[in-house]
Structure 1
Amino acid sequence: MRFGYSETCLDHDTGARHPENPDRLRAIREGLKRKHGVEYVEADPASREAVGAVHEEEYVEEVSSFCESGGGNWDPDTVASGNTWAAALAAAGQAQWAGERALAGEDGRKTPFALGRPPGHHAVADDAMGFCFVNNVAVAAQSALDDDDADADRIAVFDWDVHHGNGTQDIFYERGDVFYASIHEDGLYPGTGDAAETGIGDGAGTTLNASLGAGAADADYLAVVEDAVGPAIERFDPDLLLVSAGFDAHRHDPISRMRVSTEGYALMTDRMRGLADRTGAGLAFVLEGGYGLDTLAEGVATVHETFDGRPPIEPDEGPKEGTEAVVDDLRDRLDL
């Protein structure tokens, strides 16, 4: 794979005990050292105009000034330093690069993966939250739609982070040109992402939320992907498929109760690759969460290995009854 990466993202200083810290990127880089075919690209940072296309100008001014004046606690969980705004623009720029390269036809072993931090999927149009300041995947999606040369009219985002990407959903909730699908742990921060949230107005039917109970494992995630997310995105027929790739649903991640294995991420990667092939969509990955350093590094590495030719191993067990009920409900709601 080709990985978007910038040392600037290491300068976002959240403090020694914060789970979202520079060691996350260092661990990923260390884990990829032993892999073949890894290439790093430093993309240009996102422009203020690109960020302003998905965030309100008043918020952009407020948060950039907050960071440039030294930062501090934006809220109890979301911490900024003097270098955070530059890191956020770098992360958003990497997401833009990933979307651009996918639309340009880079796939297979050249499939792009943006390794930026701070993450983005909780950032709403007018606020930072959940460790996120700029919604990276939203910037990438909107930039693709605004680029006349890209010829992209419809974008799909699949979010497999254990937390619901409330910011991405909110930004596109009333629009019909972006489809947002999420699998997340029921009851976990930020408490959004109910199955009844399917979009309104022009966006009616373009949001899919699979809220799974604690303990959901590989077969549960695959059931949702194969029987709900995949068919919904295939019907939407996007030009670009962006994966908000958080690795905190891993069974050994310290802040969730899900049971996804490292192999589970390989399986979801394989299904997204197949979905992109069937729809003719460009495919790109954008890093979100993942707070166990070893499991985060393993997760990113297994995505790379899947594109490098290693076939994933299918699970031995099927999904839980509760998951089957979730899938049936989603199919009814979206008329799949």
Structure 2
Amino acid sequence: MKFGYREICLEHDTGPRHPETADRIRAIRRGLAKRHGVEYHDGAPADRDAVEAVHDPAYISEIESFCADGGGTWDADTVAVEETWDAALASAGLARWAVEEAIDGSDGRQTPFAIGRPPGHHAEFDEAMGFCFFNNAAVAAHWAVDHAEGVDSAVIFDWDVHHGNGTQDIFYDRDDVFYVSIHEQGLFPGTGEVLETGGPNARKTILNAPLPGGSGDEEYTAVVDELLDPAIERFAPDLFVVSAGFDAHRHDPISRMRVSTEGYGHMTDRVRTIADRHDAALAFVLEGGYGLDALAESVGMVHEVFDGREPVEPDGDVLSKAERVIDDVRAAHEL
């Protein structure tokens, strides 16, 4: 795979006890150094226009001033320093780089993956939260749909353990971006209910699968096969963006989910198959993941799938509580 990376993303300093640290990116790069066929590209930072396309200009100016004054604690979870401004623009720019590469034909072993930070999927139109300042995947998807030749619609599939309230907020009433999220029910930020399906101008373009704690490979695979796949069949996207958080891993410290490293490989294989079927450009954008070894192994697994590895298919039973959620989503979306 091609990986987007910029050194400035390491300068976003959240402090010694914060889970979202530069060590996450360092761990990923150490893990990838052991693998074949890894390329790095630095892309370019997002410009003001790209970020303002999905965020309130007044909010962006507030973030800029906050960082210029030395940063501090924006909220209980979200911390900034002076360098955060440049890091956030770089992270958004890397997401756009990944989407541009995918649209330009990078696929197979050249499939792009942006590993910037801070992450983005909690950043709403006019608010930073959950470690996020600018919504990286939203910046990239909006640019593609509005400006890229041959891209009229996009899917953002968010497999981070937390619901991407920011991505949902930004695209809730748009019919050209379909947002799909698998997340742990009841976890921060408390959004992402089954009946949140889109605004009056975009019905059925938000699909939320809030799975119970303890869900793992079997449950995630069931959501992909029984919900994501048929929903995308109806939507027929030109672009497929994965908001790739790895905090649903069984060894991540901040969730109760049970996805294995092999499970992420299997989901990657499924996503690749779906994107290929629709001839949709495919790009990955890093979100969460806070167990350093689990994060590095999972990103490495995604890479290995594109390098020829065939992941093991899960063969266990789906939890009955998860089956009920899947049935509810199927009914809400008439799948």
TM-score band by shorter chain is: over 0.9
Q: Secondary structure at the match of 2:201?
A: helix
Any runs of at least 4 consecutive aligned residues in structure 1 with deviations exceeding 3 A, and if so which?
A: none
Contact 1:173/1:207 (8 A) holds in 2? yes
Deviation (angstroms), 1:152: 0.8
Q: Which residue of 2 aligns with 1:308?
A: 307
Q: Secondary structure at the match of 1:202?
A: coil
Contiguous gaps of at least 5 residues in structure 1: none
Contact 1:247/1:296 (8 A) holds in 2? yes
Distance (Å, rounded) in 2 between the aligned partners of 1:213 and 1:327: 11
Per-residue CA deviation, residues 245-271 of structure 1 (Å, 9 max, x unaligned), is: 000000010000000000110011001
Q: Which amino acid in structure 2 is aligned with residue 327 of structure 1?
A: I
Distance (Å, rounded) in 2 between the aligned partners of 1:72 and 1:289: 21
Q: Which amino acid in structure 2 is aligned with residue 39 of structure 1?
A: E
Deviation (angstroms), 1:201: 1.5
Contiguous gaps of at least 5 residues in structure 2: none
Distance (Å, rounded) in 1 between the aligned partners of 2:39 and 2:317: 36
Kindly indicate whether residue 67 of structure 2 is the aligned counterpart of residue 67 of structure 1: yes
Deviation (angstroms), 1:200: 1.4
Contact 1:161/1:248 (8 A) holds in 2? yes
Distance (Å, rounded) in 2 between the aligned partners of 1:150 and 1:302: 32
Contact 1:238/1:281 (8 A) holds in 2? yes
- What pairs with 1:238-317 in structure 2 (closer than 5 Å)? 238-317=237-316
Determine what percentage of the aligned residue pairs are the same residue: 64
Q: Which amino acid in structure 1 is aligned with residue 69 of structure 2?
A: S
Q: Which residue of 1 aligns with 2:201?
A: 202
Q: Which residue of 2 aligns with 1:193?
A: 192
Distance (Å, rounded) in 2 between the aligned partners of 1:76 and 1:4: 29
Quick check: 169-178 or 319-328, which moved more? 319-328
Distance (Å, rounded) in 1 between the aligned partners of 2:68 and 2:87: 12
Distance (Å, rounded) in 2 between the aligned partners of 1:243 and 1:306: 15
Per-residue CA deviation, residues 183-212 of structure 1 (Å, 9 max, x unaligned), is: 000000000000000001221110000001
Q: Which amino acid in structure 2 is aligned with residue 166 of structure 1?
A: N
Distance (Å, rounded) in 2 between the aligned partners of 1:71 and 1:311: 45
Q: Secondary structure at the match of 1:267?
A: helix
Q: Secondary structure at the match of 2:187?
A: coil
Per-residue CA deviation, residues 48-79 of structure 1 (Å, 9 max, x unaligned), is: 11000000000000011101110000001100
Q: Secondary structure at the match of 2:226?
A: helix
Kindly indicate whether residue 180 of structure 2 is the aligned counterpart of residue 181 of structure 1: yes
Contact 1:241/1:284 (8 A) holds in 2? yes
Q: Secondary structure at the match of 1:243?
A: strand
Distance (Å, rounded) in 1 between the aligned partners of 2:206 and 2:53: 20
RMSD (Å) for aligned C-alpha atoms: 0.7
Kindly indicate whether residue 214 of structure 2 is the aligned counterpart of residue 215 of structure 1: yes
Distance (Å, rounded) in 1 between the aligned partners of 2:108 and 2:161: 26
Q: Which residue of 1 aligns with 2:322?
A: 323
Per-residue CA deviation, residues 207-247 of structure 1 (Å, 9 max, x unaligned), is: 00000110001000000110001111121000000000000
Distance (Å, rounded) in 2 between the aligned partners of 1:297 and 1:150: 34
Q: Which amino acid in structure 1 is aligned with residue 314 of structure 2?
A: P
Distance (Å, rounded) in 2 between the aligned partners of 1:226 and 1:191: 25
Distance (Å, rounded) in 1 between the aligned partners of 2:149 and 2:10: 30
Contact 1:234/1:278 (8 A) holds in 2? no
Q: Which amino acid in structure 2 is aligned with residue 52 of structure 1?
A: E
Distance (Å, rounded) in 2 between the aligned partners of 1:104 and 1:236: 22
Deviation (angstroms), 1:150: 2.6
Distance (Å, rounded) in 1 between the aligned partners of 2:198 and 2:271: 23
Deviation (angstroms), 1:7: 0.3
Contact 1:44/1:94 (8 A) holds in 2? yes
Q: Secondary structure at the match of 1:289?
A: coil
Per-residue CA deviation, residues 54-110 of structure 1 (Å, 9 max, x unaligned), is: 000000000111011100000011000010010000000000011111111110000
TM-score normalised by length of structure 1: 0.99
Q: Secondary structure at the match of 2:192?
A: coil
Contact 1:78/1:128 (8 A) holds in 2? yes
Contact 1:185/1:213 (8 A) holds in 2? yes
Distance (Å, rounded) in 1 between the aligned partners of 2:107 and 2:68: 38
Deviation (angstroms), 1:316: 2.6
Contact 1:100/1:150 (8 A) holds in 2? no
Deviation (angstroms), 1:151: 2.1
Deviation (angstroms), 1:335: 1.1
Q: Secondary structure at the match of 1:244?
A: strand
Distance (Å, rounded) in 2 between the aligned partners of 1:222 and 1:68: 44
Q: Which amino acid in structure 2 is aligned with residue 306 of structure 1?
A: V
